[in-house]
């Protein structure tokens, strides 16, 4: 695929385990995601190892700090050669604008996206942290702020993709975790969709972990998901 829609979440504790899984995946067929545990335990070298294997890497660290600190972190991530990185929209417009400026000034310009509300969040948690109203309306409001701050897209639940596409247009990219093929284990996700439902709703890229990485044949699992999108 010239523009693979699937991002495989390498949610492992060690670089060795992550790279062993990556070696079972064709980098022309899928991108990969490096999250907090793997990056914290293994450091930037796991990212550069994946890049050297030909993978587009989504560095999923959800930067959320004062604007200067986030800008420096985004510049450092760009220097690693990542394809995509993210910040948390709850950091505010000034923080996102600083991230945008840092990425634009880097030697390579990764896609810069924002996290709105985590797909593990339900209405109870939403209210416990002091937010009120409708979760979907909050996601749209945060997404509009991200777009006006210069971000390329957001991470969101596929259940919000249709409304986001209507409000923000086709060019604003939607990256959706919480994707589960029909019949697979839901795990700790609440707001989920199947891959086909997510694409039809307007998602650009799908983050999928255990349905691929826990399969006995990861490439076959990937192929089955690809087939479901046709």
Q: Is 119 annotated as a binding residue?
A: yes
- How far apart CA 35 and CA 80 sit, in angstroms, is 15
User: Does 28 show up as a binding residue in the annotation?
Assistant: no
Which has the closest alpha carbon to 204: 1, 7, 35?
Answer: 7
Q: Which two tokens stand for residue 97?
A: 């604008």
| Residue among 56, 62, 147, 152 flagged as catalytic | 62
Does the annotation flag 195 for ligand binding? no
Is 211 within 8 Å of 194 (Cβ atoms)?
no
The response to whether 64 counts as a known ligand-binding position is: yes
Of the residues 56, 60, 147, 152, only one is catalytic, namely 60
H/E run at residue 47: helix 44-52
CA distances from 94 to 16, 168, 220 (A): 38, 20, 44
190 is in an annotated binding site: no
> Is 66 annotated in some ligand binding site?
yes
Q: Is 23 annotated as a binding residue?
A: no
Whether residue 60 lies in the annotated active site: yes
Tell whether residue 91 is among the known ligand binding residues.
Answer: no
62 is catalytic: yes
How is residue 116 annotated by DSSP?
Answer: -
Q: Which of 17, 26, 49, 65 is catalytic?
A: 65
Active site residue 196: no
Annotated catalytic residues are 60, 62, 65
Could you list the residues known to form a binding site, using ranges.
11, 33, 60-69, 119, 180, 189, 209-210
Could you list the residues known to form a binding site for substrate, using ranges.
11, 33, 60-69, 119, 180, 189, 209-210
């Amino acid at each position: 695929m010239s523009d693979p829609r699937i991002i495989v979440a390498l949610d492992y504790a060690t670089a060795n385990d992550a790279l062993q899984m990556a070696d079972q995946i064709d980098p022309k067929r899928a991108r990969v995601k490096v999250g907090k545990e793997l990056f914290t335990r293994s450091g930037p070298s796991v990212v550069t190892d994946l890049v050297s294997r030909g993978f587009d890497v989504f560095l999923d660290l959800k930067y959320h700090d004062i604007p200067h600190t986030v800008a420096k972190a985004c510049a450092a991530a760009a220097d690693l050669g990542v394809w995509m990185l993210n910040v948390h929209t709850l950091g505010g417009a000034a923080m996102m604008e600083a991230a945008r400026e840092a990425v634009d000034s880097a030697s390579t310009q990764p896609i810069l996206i924002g996290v709105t509300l985590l797909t593990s969040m339900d209405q109870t948690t939403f209210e416990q942290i002091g937010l009120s109203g409708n979760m979907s309306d909050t996601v749209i409001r945060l997404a509009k702020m991200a777009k006006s701050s210069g971000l390329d897209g957001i991470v969101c639940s596929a259940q919000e993709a249709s409304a986001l596409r209507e409000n923000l247009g086709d060019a604003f990219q939607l990256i959706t975790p919480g994707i589960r093929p029909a019949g697979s284990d839901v795990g700790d996700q609440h707001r989920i969709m199947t891959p086909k439902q997510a694409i039809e709703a307007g998602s650009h890229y799908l983050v999928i972990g255990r349905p691929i990485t826990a399969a006995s044949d990861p490439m076959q699992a990937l192929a089955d998901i690809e087939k479901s999108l046709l």
